[in-house]
Structure 1
Amino acid sequence: VFSPAEIFEQPLLIELLYLQIVHDIFSSVCVRISEAERINMKIFLSSHGVATIGDIHLIKTSSAKKDIIEQARQWSIYFCRFFPITTIKSHFNEEQLLGISHSGIRLIKRSRTTTNRDTLQVLETFPFDTIQYISSIRNGSTIDLNLAKKHITIRSQRIQRIKQMIENFLQESRTDGNKPSHVCNHKLSLPPLLNTSDLFKSSSQTSLMSYSQTFSELIPSTSVEINTPKPTKNDVILPTLSVLPTGHSMMEFALQNFKIPNRRRSKKGWKTSEWTWQDYAELIKWSKSPIQTPLLRRSSNDPSRIVRQCFLAIMRYMGDHTMARSQTDIDCLIYLLKNMHKHRTLIDEILCQIIKQLTDNKSIKIDSVQHGWKLLAIILNYFIPSEHLQPYFIKYLHDNRIKNEKLVQLCLNHYEQTLKYGGRKNIPSKAEIGLLTANGQNGGKHQTFLLPGGFPLTLLVTPSMVMDDCLNLLCERLNISNILENDEYSIFIIITSEHSSRLLNSTEYLFDIISECARANIIDFHFIIKRMLWFNIPIIFNNNNQSEMFINFMYHQLIPELLEGTMIILNNNHLSDKLMQEISLLAALQYRASNKIGLPSMREVKHLLPATVLKLKSVRPQEWTAAIHDKLCGLVESMSIIEAKIKFINLIKTWPLFGTTFFTVQSVDNPSIRSPCLIGIYKNGILFLDLDTRETLFTIPYDNIVSIRRHQTTIDIKYGSLSQPHILQCQLDRAQDLVALSGRYLSLIGRSLTSALERKSDTQQIHRSLTSTYNDPISTIL
């Protein structure tokens, strides 16, 4: 198990954890990993070239291994310590386990499938912050847990160890997360490893953590030293933690971390013992005068002048101190942000300074508090407190929600966004700060996004929004209800003067992109949304299920794809009568959707037909014109514009190559595939197509793909059996785009499968008969 505040930095520890996880992923007997978790991890490993257990050493970098460990840490029960228990609600013949991990405790039901395989089902999860009280042990085997919204009684023969472990983890989750000093002094004798595979040959049956130590305790540290400084005569004697205010109050944080100013020397000598709670409270309250020393002890390495100037900048921004000559509130903000970026240890110091000036604010300026909360909201778009300060900081925000609900909620929103996406990168512009100052709530502005066909869609956006948030809002406006379908869309930025476009990453901040354009004096830029994947396609389009805006979106994106002719298959370079009739109907529907009067001329017909069929000599222009006129005078004439568009979409989506993205390939190292050719990426796999006729030459389904690797303009597609895969090497200019698009499809397929498995798990009823004697693959962990 991990402890709540534990980190893993030792190379040996990272290597051992990585090897354990990968071995368990490719082992079918590890019951701690759900099928959905296993599939997602295999997709992730495959993207790094690890398709089988034999590829385990292909991942070399420590950062990639840490990413894998972090993903495994999110799994519900993989890093859990299991204890057999019974609860009041336990049924006879039902075996329950208590799982304790770094994220909380879980009630788990253990059962056996019809194939005699063990399964573990999480019944309930209780994070540590919901545990309010743990009773003393009764009758030698029972404790009560008081939770935020319920009460549970647990019985176990190992109740002493359960209580001790919960209390230790609960205390660690509520404190600053410093590692206990025994980590450094701990000596662990490990038997020499002849082969790393020996350690993992049965990791699902014998846990690496089969006893109560955490991971860091297993690997003795030789680089970390924890020394407790001896008190001097100038140190203030603090109350013991047992009498400190509880619940992560700022008072508690101040007593543990603030520098306590020394008393002046009097005739009676030092009076360090005469500090009162009132004196301590003043440390975290508003001050009308600038501070002379840092608030935090840990800030001693930072220049004191910078710390004082930062506090002055906060006072000036809040209106509690006069500005320097030609100085503005924007100058104060930029000074703070630049120093927080340059001196990362100042982040907690400045956040504590702002909290100090917000607490019991007695400023004569009426809007001092409002400016303080706005300043905090802006800063939280860029920086958040360390794990050490975080619980106290969050509690402070929640404690002040009643008085300043909207601004505090804005701070919380910005904190969550920065925690999730890493924070803004560019200094805010004067216009952006002016927006926050003007409306005071969210600093929002209206931003226009262009839909296919050039139709504008305006959204209210805020400085904390990333492109993924914009996409979610756009999909909401398009009335797209399937959350997974949101991932099929992307936003591009197009700069007209440079004739360039760029696909925006979902984690990029919108206001950072706008700031970059403003700094480069680029004003002719546009944000365009486009559908990139076609996986979750409605069975049928109609006015009842889709909005008119969504129908227009789909129609105008599909028109240029039709006119390019890439979706048209010419079997033996011949256009079938059925396909000719469908193309004629699509042309007639286009003409009706454009709301033109009368019948199209032969010249107009050329603009309604795909480029590939215009090159065919087997069908003359007069024949196309007559066929389109016939369609218009028949069924299409009576349709409304929206009905014509819906008919167009429903027809074209029946074509085999609908939703396929094409890449031109210069060469393929397979003689059966004619080069040059096209590669088509679609929802079921990868197609190799004839360059002229679009006939299929070769197909690789996604479930047959082992890995796809790119080497500049070359890609290697490994497919077939895991033990003896085939490799197909292709040469193309847009290799990076192809790998990225296929990766998005694989990721979406994995998430769709996970969602389906979760729904199945929620509705499935598990029935089993419990036997007292059978082979127990997890008995050694209990």
Structure 2
Amino acid sequence: MMTRRRTSSCTKDLTDAHGHMSSTGKFSMLEFSMMYYRQNIDRYEALQSSTHGLQDSIKLIETLKLSTIKKRFLTRDNETPKQKKESWSWKEQAEAVKWSSVPLEKSLLKLPTDEMDKEAVECFSSILMFMGDLPMPEPITELDCVFRILKACHQQPELKDEIYCQLTKQTTNNKSSNSNSCSRGWRLLTLLCCWFVCSDILKPFLLTYLQQNAADPSRTYYTIASTCLLALRKTLKHGGRRNVPTSDEITAIMEGKLSKRQTVYLPGSQSGMTVNITPYTLVKETLEEICTKLGIISQAEMEEYAMFALYEKGAQSGADNCIRLKKEEYIMDIITQMRLHQISCTLLFERICWYYPLHYDVISYDCTNMMYHQAIQLYLDGWLIALPPSGSKVPHKLTEDIIQIASLMWRIGTNDDEALHLDVCVEFVPDLVLTYKILSPTQIFDGMAKCLKHLDPMTSTELDFKIDVLDILRRWPMFGASFYKAKCQTEPKLGGKCILAVNRAGVHFLDSDSQKCVLSYPFTEVISTRKILTDTIEKLDFKVGNNRIQKIIQIETNQAGDIVHIIGQYIKVLNSCAKLSS
């Protein structure tokens, strides 16, 4: 009977604010405190001889199993007064990992310097003030408390584990008279989980603490504990958030508003697509969400899409105002960075690889519309047309396709054929068609008038016409290509300026004037790419060839990173397809 009473008294100290039992087993915070908290290390250092160091003390503590400590506590009636004095009190251990309304005198963990110890004590006071367990003197605000904690973890990484331990302590068995204390502690913990990686030593204990609180839906803080667990796992895998949060973001998190609606624009879309993002949402996750909404469900095909940040022109001196976002970046880091610099930024979604066929029967209207507008813009800018050699006759099929595309574009916009005039029809062909006299305005007008008679808007929809345009363009050699202006001095055939084009057929070097393909290499002949950065010039080396003959083509470009990425994406897709077919 005595043993049962003592067990009840013992476990009572390890319950949370709602009576749920905290684990005292493997990787519990109690076990961590026994091995790494200052009070225990100091106690065992006193027992060690001067020839033994801190590591020996820790090893000694690690040999003490939790069951042994329990047994020792439960049999204290049989101990001598000296043994009672020297033994650890179970209650004393429990108090170390439970909520406290009293500021710390020293840090929980043994820190390298006295200055860090002092900062840890101040951070704990900031936690108490933020949670409403300690009066907040003027002019200190709640945001000041949060920023102090974040700043301390950022400037002194050794404090990250300490702050994590402080917050798990304050959210365990919280008996504060302030009803919001525990929830505010959990929200602070959410913030920390989004920004900072804990040490490998603390990791299993911290994960276990969060898993225990997120395992039972009946717990009051089950939802926010699940959020913390998800955020911490992402932080451990991808690294924490890079940029300091804005005051608005901190306020939103502290109010429990973790989800934010964000608009991402697609080519041809005026309103864009709305997605929900959290402080720990990755670019990759947003890409997958948009792809799913568009009807793209294959993971392999999702690799063909990317997101970009479009900055206002002149926002970054000397930099491209449209930057591809890395899949492992956090969306809110990008938004925060723009707000801190007061720069207007728009998020874009585009297809960058065009290896897989266009599944019109599966994908949504929005997806087809996006691909149409993306392809038609490249067409109107003249990138997809290769000019014939000087003096050569323009292929009839090319002129026929140009007139057909112009007619389809007209029908997509209107059914009023009487509005078609000579000065209007030229707006539906690339400028180079007129500049290089591939077709005259009269030829374009006459051809469109004839073609429109066969495009009945009563039997075909706008979507049908857009699909027809895509079906024409996808037969062209440069369809789906990404184009980059460059200079090449190592290849005489290119004569300096050139255009690099990358599509499903491989890597192509085009003449900068005629856009005729001068050199072309399938991906099987692209052995490697290497970026070379200097103070003034960015270069890119292509090693091309086969097992017998190889050579290096070097170009100068300010888009080397994007070129390497797009080539890598195509090779990745090709390898995936090869594995599936084997």
**TM-score of Structure 1 vs Structure 2, range by shorter chain:** 0.7 to 0.9
1:739 equivalent in alignment to 2:559: no
Deviation at 1:618, TM superposition (A): 5.4
TM-score, normalising length from structure 1?
A: 0.60
Paired residue secondary structure (1:699): strand
Normalised to the residue count of structure 2, the TM-score between the two structures is 0.80
Partner Cα distance (1:512, 1:736) in 2: 21
Residues 699 and 623 from structure 1, CA distance in 2 versus in 1: closer, same or farther, beyond 3 angstroms? Answer: same
Q: 1:697 aligns with which of 515, 518, 521?
A: 518
Q: Summarize deviations over 1:73-97 as a string: whole Å, max 9, x none.
A: xxxxxxxxxxxxxxxxxxxxxxxxx
The answer to whether the 8 A contact 2:399-2:438 is kept is no
Cα deviation code 1:27-60 (max 9, x no counterpart): xxxxxxxxxxxxxxxxxxxxxxxxxxxxxxxxxx
1:575-590 mapped onto 2 (5 Å cutoff): 575-590=394-409
Post-superposition offset of 1:659: 0.9
Please tell me the root mean square deviation across aligned C-alpha atoms, in Å.
Answer: 2.6
Q: Which residue of 1 aligns with 2:77?
A: none
Provide the C-alpha distance between the structure 1 equivalents of 2:199 and 2:157, rounded to a whole number of angstroms.
10
Equivalent residue of 2:417, what SS? Answer: coil
**Pick from 285, 297, 300: which aligns with 1:484?**
300
Higher relative contact order by CA 8 Å / sep ≥ 6: 1 or 2? 1
Aligned to 1:256: 35
Decide whether aligned partners of structure 1 residues 444 and 302 sit closer, same or farther in structure 2, where only a CA change above 3 A counts: farther
- State the secondary structure of the residue aligned to 1:593: helix
Q: Per the alignment, do residues 427 and 640 of structure 1 end up closer, same or farther by CA in structure 2, a change over 3 Å counting?
A: same
- Determine which of 458, 461, 477 is the counterpart of 2:277: 461
SS in 1 for 2:541: strand
Partner SS state of residue 584, structure 1: helix
Measured in 2, the distance between the counterparts of 1:391 and 1:430 equals: 31
Q: Residues 756, 383 of structure 1: CA spacing in aligned structure 2 closer, same or farther, 3 A cutoff?
A: farther
d(CA) in 1 for partners of 2:197 and 2:492? 57
Q: Structure 2 matches for 1:528-677, cutoff 5 A?
A: 528-538=348-358, 544-572=361-389, 573-595=392-414, 597-599=416-418, 600-617=420-437, 619-638=439-458, 639-673=460-494, 676-677=497-498
Q: Which amino acid aligns with 1:556?
A: H
Change (3 A) 1:424 1:310: same
Deviations 1:306-343 (A, max 9, x none): 11111111111211111121222221111101001111
Which SS does the other structure have where 2:406 is aligned? helix
- Structure 1 residues 298 and 746, CA, compared in 2 at 3 Å: closer, same or farther? same
> Contact 2:506/2:521 (CA < 8 Å) preserved in 1?
yes
Change (3 A) 1:324 1:416: same
Q: Find the aligned partners of 1:737 and 1:588 in 2 and give their Cα distance.
A: 35
Q: Secondary structure at the match of 1:321?
A: coil
Instruction: For 2:253 and 2:580, locate their aligned partners in 1 and report how far apart those are by CA, in whole Å.
Output: 39
Tell me what 1:727 maps to: 552
CA distance in 2, matches of 1:451, 1:322: 53
Corresponding residue for residue 232 of structure 1? none
Q: Does 1:509 align with 2:330?
A: yes
Counterpart contact for 1:302–1:345, Cα < 8 Å: no
Report whether the alignment pairs 1:246 with 2:25: yes
Deviation of 1:673 (Å): 4.8
- Counterpart amino acid of 1:516? Q
| Aligned counterpart in structure 1 of residue 125 of structure 2, from 300, 307, 312 | 312
1:435–1:445 Cα contact (<8 Å) kept? no
Distance 1:374 1:618 in 2: 65
Q: Is this contact kept in 1: 2:308–2:324, CA < 8 A?
A: yes
Q: Which has the higher helix share?
A: 2
For 1:755 and 1:376, the matched residues in 2 are separated by: 44
How many Å separate the matches in 1 of 2:556 and 2:151? 46
Shift of 1:605: 0.8
State the secondary structure of the residue aligned to 1:526: strand
1:340 aligned to 112, 130, 153, which one?
153
**Mapped contact 1:592–1:644 kept (Cα < 8 A):** yes
TM-fit CA distance, 1:550:
0.4
Aligned partner of 1:432 among 239, 249, 252: 249
CA deviations over 1:126-158 (Å, ceiling 9, x no partner)? xxxxxxxxxxxxxxxxxxxxxxxxxxxxxxxxx
Over 3 Å counting, the alpha-carbon distance change for 1:752 and 1:419 in structure 2 is: farther
Q: Secondary structure in 2 aligned to 1:381?
A: helix
Percent of aligned pairs with the same residue? 27
**Secondary structure of the residue that 2:38 maps to in structure 1?**
coil
User: What corresponds to 1:685 in structure 2?
Assistant: 506
Aligned to 1:289: 102
State the alpha-carbon separation in 2 of the partners of residues 336 and 513 from structure 1. 22
| Residue number in structure 2 paired with 1:217 | none
Cα deviation, residue 498, structure 1:
2.3
Paired residue total: 503
Match of 1:414?
Answer: 231
Deviations 1:321-377 (A, max 9, x none): 111212222211111010011111111111111111111111111121111111101
Q: Deviations over 1:568-596 (max 9, x none)?
A: 23444432222222211111111121235
Q: Shift in Å at residue 654 of structure 1?
A: 1.7
Is contact 1:299–1:349 with CA below 8 Å preserved after alignment? no
Separation (CA, whole Å) in 2 of partners of 1:666 and 1:319: 63
What's 1:24 paired with? none
Corresponding residue SS for 1:648: helix
Q: Are 1:520 and 2:327 an aligned pair?
A: no
Q: Unpaired segments of 5 or more residues in structure 2?
A: 1-22, 41-80, 316-320
1:186-197, aligned counterparts within 5 Å? none
Distance verdict in 2 for CA 1:448–1:283, change over 3 Å: same
Pick closer, same or farther for the CA change 1:445–1:661 going to 2, 3 Å. Answer: closer
Q: Output the CA distance in 1 between the equivalents of 2:120 and 2:326.
A: 36
